[in-house]
Chains A and B, each alone.
Chain A
Amino acid sequence: MITLLIKLKENIIIALKALKEHKMRSVLTTLGIIIGVLTVVSVASIISGLNEGFKDRLSFLGSNTLYIQKYPWMSHGDWYKYRNRPDISMQNYKYLVEHTDDENVIIAPSLSTRRELKFDGDKLTEVPINGVTKESEIVSNISIAEGRFFTNLEIDRRKNRIVIGNTIKEKLFENKEPLGKRVKINGKPFYVIGVMEKKGKFFGNDMDINVYIPIGSFFKNFGYHRSISIEAQVVEQAMFEATKEKLRYLMRFSRGLKPGTEDNFSINQQETIQQQYDSLTNGLYTAAIGIGTLALLVGGIGIMNIMLVSVTERQKEIGIRKAIGATNSIISFQFLVESVIICSLGGIIALILSYFVAIGISAATPFPASVPLWSVFMGLGFSWFIGIFFGLYPAHQAAKLDPIESLHYE
């Protein structure tokens, strides 16, 4: 064992020396490996970044929440069909609330639009305004940092009260106390009663720019002809599918749909996005692995070629080593180590490059890319595998050289 380690160490030194003599050749040889590993690791880092962002977004959507809406989240063409559906109305919402039990499912209507928000001569444009009810605090997962959320009375009486996101506080109020202040939307005054906790960014979108007003106030100020979204949070995860079916049934009943006809509404859920997302990232992985494998294959053939050249060039050296007592397996080991080192070199260069790629992507796009640890090991593993696989044949060629002939090789 100890002698094997000594030999391994010596072989690594020999290999590094040989690489130093042919710097340019070594780098060119590793190009295929670099491209292959770089492709796979870069895509892995992009996807892991996407995954991280996506998980946040999805947890924000809530895995046990159903969204009853006019349009499905993921549709395949046929947009007209969906456009001709009747709007989801407050009547639908009220019907669902009346026929379900609070202990099983919490239902809230939701509406949103983008408007200009003014305060004291300053203004913010394109602010997402959301119409909510008391239940939205739970269903939409709204946490209040300062002040309070709406009371039932404020909701019922359609009061012009507003709860704002943290960004609104920073930008419009320049971090001064916003509670009790009056902001204007469409010239209508709204009193600030609460500020939400900071949520951060998602895919470059600021999640703290939202504001909330009572849904009645929303209709009163921005018009009644709108399709709402009904959000239903299922309390018991186990009851999720059953509740979904019940809501579907109730929706159909409230709309008087005959049996056998299609639903004229969609019940959306996080899983739909998750599925779509998974199929997208799986496609990306497949493509990356395909390109990466191809590049690694080409790289591997390059390695084999250069190793064969190296065996011929160093035939005399092989002869000398054999005469002095190197066994066939030691010679073969020496060339295998060299091949693995060339490939590792390529792998390491690729990993360094992919680190910069990840930084570049993070800086240039909203995707938070990072190099995941597993992809580092995978990259190194790939390059070792290529080094061993494509090094075996040249190493075998070196080992079986005749010592006498090799000694006389010039």
Chain B
Amino acid sequence: MQVPLIDLRNIRKTYGEDKVPVHALRKIDLAIKNNEYVSIMGPSGSGKSTLMNIIGCLDTPTEGQYFLEGEEVHTMNDNTLARIRNRKIGFVFQTFNLLPRASALHNVELPLIYSGLPADERKKRAEKALEQVKLGHRKDHNPNELSGGQRQRVAIARALVNRPSLLLADEPTGNLDSETGEEIMELFDILHKKGNTILMVTHEEHVANHAHRIINILDGNIAQDRGVVKK
């Protein structure tokens, strides 16, 4: 049997244990296979961001086990988690989170710097990733010289440049107008067709519908896990 890409078992996350405990995640069991396209939905405060952070290795669960490609993430220290984020996960954020005073190219190069790639190879791969999101001609511009859609595409290029196992997008269209948002979603569709596994947090139904599977989170529990019937 194929090992799932993401395998969450009995995941709990509680904040402020000593005072008033807040149960962000109560008991999550979730498996996501390679090349799945999954949306996570839920109202604010439902725990979907916490789940996203745990899957993205930015946070660790209070309880439970998390296997990413068979590796036990829940036992890892800070440094190993940083390496996992670097090699296996590509983040796309709602607010883009680009370094404001660095060129698009440098922003895309950043993950490669942390994996210790030599400069010339780094540059080649970063340029290729920018071309993939159709921004090859704007590689020397700083983020403040780019439109919102272009910024998000730089962020996507940065997320893809280290060929991660998983693309994690947190409200990727939240700061964009609907037309640009739709362009970005089309880009995600293409990336999925090319074989990428995509996990996306959103609260917009039409964005979530781009995925093939939608998971609803409510009060720290998985309320619903369903497939999307494509028209």
Report whether chain A binds chain B.
yes
Q: Are A325 and B86 neighbours in the complex by a CB distance under 8 Å?
A: yes
Q: Are A325 and B87 neighbours in the complex by a CB distance under 8 Å?
A: yes
Whether A325 contacts B115 in the complex (CB less than 8 A), given A403-B58, A404-B58, A404-B59, comes out as: yes
Whether A326 contacts B114 in the complex (CB less than 8 A), given A17-B101, A320-B97, comes out as: yes
B146 at the interface (CB under 8 A from A): no
Binding site for A on B (CB under 8 A): 53, 56, 58-59, 78-79, 82-83, 85-87, 91, 93, 97-99, 101, 110-111, 113-119, 158, 162
Q: Are A10 and B113 neighbours in the complex by a CB distance under 8 Å?
A: yes
For chain A, which range describes its interface: under 10, 10 to 19, 20 to 34, or 35 or more residues? 20 to 34
* Cα distance A321–B86 in the bound complex, in angstroms: 10
Q: Are A325 and B78 neighbours in the complex by a CB distance under 8 Å?
A: no
* Cα distance A382–B99 in the bound complex, in angstroms: 33
Partner of A323, one of B97, B116, B119, B162: B97
Q: Are A6 and B91 neighbours in the complex by a CB distance under 8 Å?
A: no
**A316 CB contacts on chain B under 8 angstroms:** 97
**What is the distance, in angstroms, from A395's C-beta to the closest C-beta of chain B?**
15
Whether A3 contacts B111 in the complex (CB less than 8 A), given A326-B82, A404-B53, comes out as: no
Partner of B111, one of A2, A325, A327, A328: A325
* Cα distance A322–B99 in the bound complex, in angstroms: 12
A24 at the interface (CB under 8 A from B): no
Whether A324 contacts B83 in the complex (CB less than 8 A), given A2-B116, A7-B116, comes out as: no
**A17 CB contacts on chain B under 8 angstroms:** 101
Residue of A nearest to B80 (CB): A327
A378 at the interface (CB under 8 A from B): no
* Cα distance A10–B99 in the bound complex, in angstroms: 14
* Cα distance A323–B170 in the bound complex, in angstroms: 13
**A324 CB contacts on chain B under 8 angstroms:** 85-86, 91, 110-111, 114, 158
* Cα distance A325–B56 in the bound complex, in angstroms: 11
Q: Are B110 and A6 neighbours in the complex by a CB distance under 8 Å?
A: no
**What is the distance, in angstroms, from B50's C-beta to the closest C-beta of chain A?**
9
Q: Are B58 and A323 neighbours in the complex by a CB distance under 8 Å?
A: yes
**What is the distance, in angstroms, from A6's C-beta to the closest C-beta of chain B?**
6
Whether A327 contacts B82 in the complex (CB less than 8 A), given A404-B53, A404-B58, comes out as: yes
* Cα distance A7–B109 in the bound complex, in angstroms: 13
**B115 CB contacts on chain A under 8 angstroms:** 325
**A6 CB contacts on chain B under 8 angstroms:** 113, 116-119
Residue-wise, chain A 306-348 has the 8 Å CB interface mask toward B (1 for contact) of 0000000000110111111111111000000000000000000
Binding site for B on A (CB under 8 A): 2-3, 6-7, 10, 17, 21, 316-317, 319-330, 403-404, 407
Question: 23 A-B pairs, CB-CB below 8 angstroms?
Answer: A2-B116, A3-B116, A10-B113, A17-B101, A21-B101, A316-B97, A320-B98, A321-B110, A322-B58, A322-B85, A323-B85, A323-B97, A324-B114, A325-B85, A325-B87, A325-B111, A325-B162, A326-B82, A326-B86, A327-B78, A327-B79, A327-B114, A328-B79
**A327 CB contacts on chain B under 8 angstroms:** 78-79, 82-83, 114
The 3 closest A-B pairs by CB, nearest first: A325-B86, A3-B116, A327-B82
**A329 CB contacts on chain B under 8 angstroms:** 79
Residue of B nearest to A323 (CB): B91
* Cα distance A326–B84 in the bound complex, in angstroms: 10
Residue of B nearest to A5 (CB): B116
**B111 CB contacts on chain A under 8 angstroms:** 324-325
* Cα distance A133–B50 in the bound complex, in angstroms: 102
Q: Are B85 and A7 neighbours in the complex by a CB distance under 8 Å?
A: no
16 A-B pairs besides A317-B99, A325-B115 with CB distance below 8 A are: A3-B116, A6-B113, A320-B97, A322-B58, A322-B85, A323-B58, A323-B91, A324-B111, A324-B158, A325-B86, A325-B111, A325-B162, A327-B78, A328-B79, A330-B82, A403-B58
**B162 CB contacts on chain A under 8 angstroms:** 325
* Cα distance A3–B122 in the bound complex, in angstroms: 12
**B82 CB contacts on chain A under 8 angstroms:** 322, 325-328, 330
**What is the distance, in angstroms, from B152's C-beta to the closest C-beta of chain A?**
14
**B99 CB contacts on chain A under 8 angstroms:** 317, 320
**B117 CB contacts on chain A under 8 angstroms:** 6
**What is the distance, in angstroms, from B59's C-beta to the closest C-beta of chain A?**
6
* Cα distance A324–B56 in the bound complex, in angstroms: 10
* Cα distance A6–B119 in the bound complex, in angstroms: 8
**B87 CB contacts on chain A under 8 angstroms:** 325
**B85 CB contacts on chain A under 8 angstroms:** 322-325
**What is the distance, in angstroms, from B96's C-beta to the closest C-beta of chain A?**
10
Q: Are A325 and B83 neighbours in the complex by a CB distance under 8 Å?
A: yes
Whether A325 contacts B114 in the complex (CB less than 8 A), given A403-B58, A404-B58, comes out as: yes
**A21 CB contacts on chain B under 8 angstroms:** 101
**A3 CB contacts on chain B under 8 angstroms:** 116
* Cα distance A6–B114 in the bound complex, in angstroms: 9
**What is the distance, in angstroms, from B109's C-beta to the closest C-beta of chain A?**
9
* Cα distance A108–B139 in the bound complex, in angstroms: 87
**What is the distance, in angstroms, from A1's C-beta to the closest C-beta of chain B?**
10
Q: Are B78 and A328 neighbours in the complex by a CB distance under 8 Å?
A: yes
* Cα distance A323–B96 in the bound complex, in angstroms: 12
* Cα distance A275–B111 in the bound complex, in angstroms: 63
**B119 CB contacts on chain A under 8 angstroms:** 6
**A10 CB contacts on chain B under 8 angstroms:** 113
Whether A407 contacts B97 in the complex (CB less than 8 A), given A325-B86, A327-B82, comes out as: yes
